[in-house]
């Protein structure tokens, strides 16, 4: 096969892989910044724990994606500054995100992350990059399940219309 027959880490990245890894890193950097702000707004301890875990996962993705980019001669996107801690009581009630809003937002973003990881996995010809995003996909699935369970337990989940009675076939 020539250039693509050895250790995947020695293979060149194609342009789609470069862009996807760069974009994943940039997105994770935005996630860290945004979720640090959400931590300042969140009151629920379980929600804060999930936010901490999402931040830790995003920081891991930044570290691994930036290393992959750097190793391949590509400059990663800049890191955003850390958000300062704020007390929930210091945020005016009208300006504060409610816990159920935060939970809904992180659920949507986690679901979008699953789709992005699947797309990247499908475009990869380097097995190591595909495996890296498969790992991220599995972690996002577990985090998404935790968010769903918390939202159900707290009564924050607003389900779409449910089909309780089915039409009778004649």
Q: What is the pLDDT of residues 84-142, one digit of tens each?
A: 999 999 999 999 999 999 999 999 999 999 999 999 999 999 999 999 999 999 999 99
In the predicted model, what is the mean pLDDT of residues 68-78? 96
What is the per-residue pLDDT for 155? 97
The model's confidence at residue 163, banded by pLDDT at 50, 70 and 90, is confident
Residue scoring higher pLDDT (165 or 120): 120
Amino acid 3: pLDDT: 59
Please determine, for residue 1, whether its predicted confidence score (pLDDT) is greater than 50. no
Q: What average pLDDT does this structure show over 156-170?
A: 85
* Closest C-alpha to 107, from 135, 141, 130: 141
Using 50, 70 and 90 to split pLDDT, how confident is the model at 81? Answer: very high
Higher-pLDDT residue of 106 and 1 is 106
Backbone angles phi, psi at 27, to 5 degrees: -65, -45
Which has the closest alpha carbon to 4: 122, 121, 132, 126?
126
Tell whether the model's pLDDT for residue 6 goes beyond 80: no
pLDDT digits (tens, 9 = 90+) for 29-58: 999 999 999 999 999 999 999 999 999 999
- pLDDT: which is higher, 108 or 167: 108
Q: Report whether pLDDT(2) > 70.
A: no
* 37/60 Cα distance (integer angstroms): 19
With 0.85 as the threshold, say if the pTM is over it. Answer: yes
What is the tally of helices (H) and strands (E) in the chain? 4, 0
């Amino acid at each position: 096969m020539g250039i693509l027959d050895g250790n995947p880490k020695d293979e060149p990245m194609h342009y789609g892989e470069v862009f996807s890894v760069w974009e994943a890193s940039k997105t994770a950097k935005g996630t860290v910044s945004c979720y640090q702000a959400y931590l300042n707004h969140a009151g629920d301890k379980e929600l804060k724990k999930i936010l901490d875990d999402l931040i830790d996962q995003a920081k891991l993705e930044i570290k691994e994606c930036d290393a992959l980019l750097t190793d391949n001669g590509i400059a990663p996107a800049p890191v955003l500054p850390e958000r300062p801690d704020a007390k929930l009581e210091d945020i005016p009630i009208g300006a504060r995100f409610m816990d159920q809003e935060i939970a809904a937002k992180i659920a949507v973003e986690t679901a979008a992350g699953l789709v992005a990881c699947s797309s990247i996995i499908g475009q990869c010809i380097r097995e190591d990059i595909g495996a890296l995003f498969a790992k991220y996909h599995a972690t996002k699935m577990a985090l998404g399940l935790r968010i769903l369970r918390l939202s159900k337990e707290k009564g924050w989940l607003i389900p779409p219309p449910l089909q309780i009675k089915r039409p009778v076939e004649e």
